[in-house]
Amino acid sequence: MRSIGQTPLTIRRGVGMTIGLLITALALVLLARTVDWRSALQYILKVKFGWLLLALLALGVNNLAKAWRWRLLFPPGRTLPSRWDALGSLLAGQLLNFVFPFRSGDLSRIYFMGRYRGSSSASAAGTIGAEKLLDLVILGGLFTLVIPAFVLPDWLEASKLSIWLVSVLALGLWIGVIAALPASQSTLRRLAHRWQALDWLLALIDRLLDGFSALRNRRRLLPILVWTSVAWLGSIGATWLLLHALSLPASLPLAILANVIIQGGLSVPVAPAGIGIFEWLAILALTIGGIPTDQGLAFGLVLHSVVLLYPALIGGPWLLTRFR
């Protein structure tokens, strides 16, 4: 019976992995046909290791800031995960996102910071939702800030209004959730008491909303916003430093644009590790900045390797200790 119950899940995973691998293969074929790989390799071989090391340090700051922020997003009044567990789970989730498609790593974070710690998985999911909502607001804000500095492709120019509307909607949703949180949770509890048949569903929604409660806490909100700012500064700084490492034209607007396009494009990943997709997004961002495609590919390959380093070195060992 157990094997029968597990079969649909196994099939879904297999289908998801197959789709992801097909997308990866298509992206790599297109890269091979349209970009000069030999020229890109020449740029990579000339990388300046001093700048590369600084980029690695900046990315380390980014990961630490994201972990500290996520830790503070857990509901006030409850035991917070340790800093090491927050960092380890975050990087293990990134590692699993690289290996499997469809945000599998976020599900692992929900498991380890929820059920594994003996607390609510739904509440842990709510903290990740709050985290994504914060980043979405900043992503849209940064995009609207830097787009006047560039001449965008027609299809991206036509999407400016949509991106701006999505960021405004995310900001409105964030403010709405914060403002309505106490009343909505109180209403859910009254409904659960009245309709016991829906008790499990209403309790689940209540715990999910509980993951947003830190955003209403005055003592938590300022540190959360500070760590969010540090995380984005670390990410943008790492991009700017990598441009220098590859002797490419480096500017703050270009570093911001590259972050916005790459992170925005990977926010709904379907390919394992974003292989091929990551590089295409890097090429797109740098092409908008007037940088040739071969140099954009070199940048994308180096950045992709650097981004994978911390999840592999820290997230992997942390994950193994949890399965040992």
What pLDDT is recorded for position 5? 44
What pLDDT is recorded for position 212? 76
What pLDDT is recorded for position 2? 42
Locate tokens 């509440």: which residue?
Answer: 123
User: Does any domain span residue 96?
Assistant: yes
What pLDDT is recorded for position 20? 55
SS (H, E, C) 106-131: HHHHHHHHCHHHCCCHHHHHHHHHHH
| Domain encompassing residue 300 | 37-323
Locate tokens 């607390």: which residue?
Answer: 119
User: Does any domain span residue 27?
Assistant: no
Please enumerate, as own/partner, the contacts of 31-40 that have beta carbons within 8 Å and a separation of 24 or more.
Answer: 31/276, 31/279, 31/280, 31/297, 34/293, 35/283, 35/293, 35/294, 35/297, 36/293, 36/294, 37/294, 37/297, 39/294, 39/295, 40/294, 40/295, 40/297, 40/298, 40/301
User: Does any domain span residue 305?
Assistant: yes
Measure Cα distances from 125 to 109, 110, 202, 206, 215 in Å.
8, 5, 15, 12, 15
Measure Cα distances from 302 to 46, 55, 223 in Å.
12, 11, 32
What pLDDT is recorded for position 242? 95
Q: Cα–Cα distance between 222 and 230 in angstroms, integer?
A: 12
Q: Cα–Cα distance between 74 and 160 in angstroms, integer?
A: 34
Q: What is the DSSP string of 286-317?
A: HHHTT--HHHHHHHHHHHHHHHHHHIIIIIHH
User: Does any domain span residue 149?
Assistant: yes
Taking the chain (324 residues) in runs of 10, the rounded mean pLDDT of each run is: 47 54 60 72 90 96 96 84 90 83 73 67 79 84 80 62 66 66 61 60 65 80 93 96 92 92 73 69 87 89 91 90 72
Residue 249 near residue 291 (C-beta atoms within 8 A):
yes
Residue 266 near residue 278 (C-beta atoms within 8 A):
yes
User: Does any domain span residue 292?
Assistant: yes
What pLDDT is recorded for position 9? 45
What total of structural domains would you count in the chain?
A: 1
Ranges of H-type helices in 35-99: 37-45, 49-72, 83-99
User: Does any domain span residue 5?
Assistant: no
User: Does any domain span residue 30?
Assistant: no
User: Does any domain span residue 6?
Assistant: no
Residue 97 near residue 109 (C-beta atoms within 8 A):
no
